[in-house]
Amino acid sequence: MTGSRLSRRSALGLIGAAGAVGVTGGFAAGATRDDAPATEDRVVPFHGPHQAGITTPVQQHLYFASFDLTSTADRDDVRSLLADWTDAAARMTRGEEVTAEGATGGGPYKPPDDTGEALGLSAHALTVTFGFGPSLFDDRFGLADRRPRELVELPSFAFDLLEDRYSGGDLCIQACAEDPQVAVHAIRNLSRIAFGRAQVRWTQLGYGRTSTTTKAQATPRNLFGFKDGTANVFGTDTADLERWVWSDGSDQPWMAGGSFLVARKIAMLIESWDRVRLEEQEAIIGRDKGEGAPLSGGREFTDPDFDVVSTQAGGPAIPMTAHMRLAHPDQNGGARLLRRGYNYVEGNNDLGQLNAGLFFLAYGRSPQQFIDIQRSLATDALNEYIRHIGSAVFAIPRGIRPGGSVGDGLFG
């Protein structure tokens, strides 16, 4: 399971070679190793003190899934499911198939272990991140005394129009990759493994990251055309990560090195926004559209000066209701989040308008960081053009050691 790094591409090549010379016996004989991976072969380590997929440089594609345990699942089912998910995820993040038999090695008389759509594709920097929702700690599985104190359902916020079909869940999996099919393959196979123990509650596909976790990445743009996530916590900011992202486990030791994830599906009223004058768009955001600089002056990463007055605007250069002002750490007791959001587009509605928006993902040491910032946004001028339609919060357990399982320590 943790031996040589044999990629799906290597395996596929081996299958062809084996067939040509009549060799049988799976993938072991003559395996090649990825000693010099190309960009698409980039493997993100699965094991470590923190789960991958949080500070990892944000990949271009996302498939996120929320699960509910089935009505017949018991404590042992939860434990076995997490162990099975861990083994499969570790293999897939190395670019391997779900099991050694995979899509073609199990013989013709049973369904393949692996669904096969990622054969020929390498790891593509796949990360798989697991989380536990508040409902996992109710009275079904004897885990109530293991619930982190802060893991409770989020309160209602101004302008929330939440729908159950996009909200909640006992468990979650965030799969990110540089190739969309690799991310979809991961969620598809992990959902399949869960059969009889858990079922998908809701999912979200995302394309085009809307934030960065490293200064080596250019700040991306959201569907309103503005740079997003300029003030993000970067994966190299050790002190900020300790202060704002990683749990110290003082409440629940199994959370030491873990985090909390807030997921929000935010619909964007694209057609209405597109009819707004540029000057007004920039006032709503608080930044100029081209450079991404604050309206108080400077460049993208210049600290905003909220005291600067604009003669042209006849008031603060960054309006009091500007999104950037209200969300900025200076306005929220210094609170910061590590964001990994993605754009989404799901076709058009009956009026021909885009079903599109932002799938907001934010990691923090406590959900309270998000709650405080979101409450500050109650007077955000941007609220006229967005609708929060989905919401969930999850505890993200600490990283996984080799031979271990996600949530080790959860069951005592």
Is the pLDDT confidence value at 289 over 60? yes
H/E stretch holding 152 reads none
Please answer whether residues 110 and 39 qualify as being in contact, where contact means their C-beta atoms are separated by less than 8 angstroms: no
Q: Is 53 exposed, middle or buried (0-12, 13-18, 19+ CB in 10 A)?
A: buried
Please answer whether residues 230 and 222 qualify as being in contact, where contact means their C-beta atoms are separated by less than 8 angstroms: no
Which candidate, 325, 274, 275, 331, places its Cα nearest to that of 295? 325
What are the pLDDT digits (tens) for 88-99?
999 999 999 999
Tokens at residue 50, please? Answer: 């923190």
Distance CA 340, CA 292 (A): 19
Q: What is the distance, to the nearest Å, from the Cα of residue 234 to the centroid of all Cα atoms in its chain?
A: 15
The reported pLDDT for the residue numbered 7 is: 58
Region 217-229 average pLDDT: 87
**Quick one: pLDDT band at residue 3, thresholds 50, 70, 90?**
very low
Distance CA 394, CA 137 (A): 11
β-bridge mates for residue 393, sequence order: 262
Token pair 């799969």: residue: 175
> Would strands 386-396 and 61-69 be described as parallel, antiparallel, or unpaired?
unpaired
Q: What is the distance, to the nearest Å, from the Cα of residue 85 to the centroid of all Cα atoms in its chain?
A: 17
Is the pLDDT confidence value at 11 over 50? no
Tokens at residue 70, please? Answer: 């089935």
Query: How much is the mean pLDDT over the chain?
Result: 90
The reported pLDDT for the residue numbered 8 is: 64
Please answer whether residues 116 and 15 qualify as being in contact, where contact means their C-beta atoms are separated by less than 8 angstroms: no
**Quick one: pLDDT band at residue 208, thresholds 50, 70, 90?**
confident
How many Cα neighbours within 13 Å face the side chain of 255? 25
Region 268-296 average pLDDT: 96
Which candidate, 164, 162, 193, places its Cα nearest to that of 99? 193
Three-state DSSP state, 273: helix
Region 197-203 average pLDDT: 98
The reported pLDDT for the residue numbered 1 is: 37
Please answer whether residues 94 and 7 qualify as being in contact, where contact means their C-beta atoms are separated by less than 8 angstroms: yes
Model confidence pTM above 0.85: yes
Please answer whether residues 340 and 363 qualify as being in contact, where contact means their C-beta atoms are separated by less than 8 angstroms: yes
Region 399-405 average pLDDT: 95
More confident residue, 7 or 402: 402
The reported pLDDT for the residue numbered 23 is: 31
Three-state DSSP state, 202: strand
The reported pLDDT for the residue numbered 9 is: 54
What are the pLDDT digits (tens) for 88-139?
999 999 999 999 999 999 999 999 999 999 999 999 999 999 999 999 999 9
Region 48-53 average pLDDT: 97
